[in-house]
Amino acid sequence: MKVNIIGGGVSGLTLGCYLQMYGFRTEIFEKNKVPGGLCASWKRGGYTFDASIHWILGSGEGSAFYKLWSQLLDMKSVEFVTHETCLEIELKNSQDKYGNNIFRLYTDICRLEKYLLDIAPEDRRSIKRVVTLIRTMQKYEMPPMVCEIPELQTFRQKLKMVRYLPFVWQYLKWASVTNMQFARRLRNPFLKEAFELLFDGEEVNLLVTTMPLAFYDKKSAGYPIGGSARFADRFADRYMQLGGKINYNRDVSRVIVENGRAMALEFSDGSLAESDMTISTVDWHFTVYKALGGEFINSSIEKLASLKVLQLYPSVLMVSLGVAKTFKDFPHFFRFPLSRPYLSPDGTVYERLEVHIYNYDPTFAPEGKTSVTMSFFTRNGAFWIDLRNSDRELYDRYKSDLAANMIDELDKKFGDIKANLEVTDVATPATYHRYTGNWQGSAQGWFPGNNLMAQSPVGIDLPGLKEFYYTGQWSMPGGGLPSVLKASHDLAQKLMLKYKS
């Protein structure tokens, strides 16, 4: 059976690998000249700038996802770095009892617990409860039976789910608790402000923080040396080893449907590629409303498209710098207050700056130099996309203004930035949209709601359409590489059961 896969991102590559392993004959069609999609990094003047990976769930055997990654890659051949802290946050209004205004979220849970109890003994009960949640998560394979979809699980395997009751109990207690709600329980002003700023003022389910911490502690949430592009290349290499074919610079314009069945892909140059089955792994909105013309929808899909069910994950503006300085003693991931608020042309007001210093990846810069990125989130990605299309000169001027202002801020904080600055690069939501087609330049699909275990609103098929399936970044709120991998794995197993049994 011939399968055409739209998109050569990690979703398309991993799906292609699994389908090749199950005996399907697949081809991937990628609009760009390199694989990876959103899992991307690029070079400027000898520096590498990265738009994706900060860490990977399943980098070590302490996570169930290690099993899935290992089905496709030799994970032991990948060099991972586990950081001492997830992030460090400079507070604006509070200091700890030692006079420090920097909060450190340590990846070692024993160290984190000791640190929290030391700076906020009055909040001992709340701290112990959070640590108990993290320790409980560590006792279980998350997600359970990751290598088998329910249809392939034996009765005995399903019975073992009873062992997860302690985790379920903990989850139910914390399922609706956000970082802001937890902060309101705290009495220590320093710790309260720190939890309020975990997501730079956004209110997000606290499990988004505690779950990664559980795996950081078990050395299974590391960063792969070489970054996003190198990691994506590994899957492209594996896919071709399995007999798959990648067609680059092949921009799909629509899916040709006859009698309710997906028959072929049409490309921007008018050429066609026929197949027995078509699978899209690219942007959900593009797939449903452009490639398929909005013909195969129902009320649930219409609600999703009108953003009545979920909101889009914020878009990203990223200022990247190549600096002739080592930053050896600086934290790798740091947030701090700006000297004055910055009003973005899209209407977003920024009061804090998020800095990622790649002082731990020697492949990103020449010796003695460092790649540094500053990230800003916006919910008005459409502004940048429309502006680039309508007024390129003004668009470029706004980019330059953002970069200049943030370089000033970084220079005030760290010093010697301007004097050692060699390269400046600015990416906007228009960059993400142009490169990946992601709806409004969204960085990770749907923004997760309070219920992190809720069933995905995006199905693998569409009403009234045969021999067509969907999987990718939009299959699960929050997106991310582990979610993409799991979605590809599960769809491949379902197709194997349907067509190969």
pLDDT band for position 455 (cuts 50, 70, 90): low
Structure tokens at 186: 């705290």
- SS3 (DSSP) at 205: strand
For residues 187 and 456, the model is more confident at 187
User: Is pLDDT of 450 > 80?
Assistant: no
Can you tell me the mean pLDDT for 120-144?
91
Spell out the domain ranges in the chain. Answer: 2-76+227-310+446-500, 83-218, 315-440
pLDDT digits (tens, 9 = 90+) for 307-352: 988 889 999 999 999 999 999 889 999 999 999 999 999 999 999 9
Among the ranges given (101-115, 138-152, 278-292, 375-389), the one the predictor scored with the smallest mean pLDDT: 138-152
Say yes or no to pLDDT of 383 above 80. Answer: yes
| Of 23-37, 55-69, 275-289, 459-473, minimum mean pLDDT range | 55-69
CATH architecture of 2-76+227-310+446-500: 3-Layer(bba) Sandwich (3.50)
Q: Return the percent helix, strand and coil in the chain, to nearest 5.
A: 40, 25, 35
Query: Tens digits of per-residue pLDDT, 167-184?
Result: 888 888 888 899 999 999
pLDDT of residue 167: 83
pLDDT band at 443 (very low <50, low <70, confident <90, very high): confident
Confidence check: pLDDT of 425 > 70: yes
Task: Write down the pLDDT at residue 453.
Answer: 57
Average the pLDDT over each of 70-84, 199-213, 408-422 and give the range with the smallest value: 199-213
* pTM of the complete model: 0.94
Q: What is the pLDDT confidence band of residue 454, given thresholds at 50, 70 and 90?
A: low
> What gap in Å lies between CA 36 and CA 53, rounded to an integer?
11
Q: How far is CA 280 from CA 215, 242, 418, 484, 491, in A?
A: 31, 20, 44, 13, 12
Across 51-65, 82-96, 114-128, 156-170, least confident range? 156-170
Task: Report the distance separating Cα 395 and Cα 397, nearest Å.
Answer: 5
When pLDDT is averaged across residues 149-176 and rounded to a whole number, the result is: 83
In the chain, % of residues over pLDDT 90: 83
Q: Beta 245-247 vs 80-81: how paired, if at all?
A: unpaired
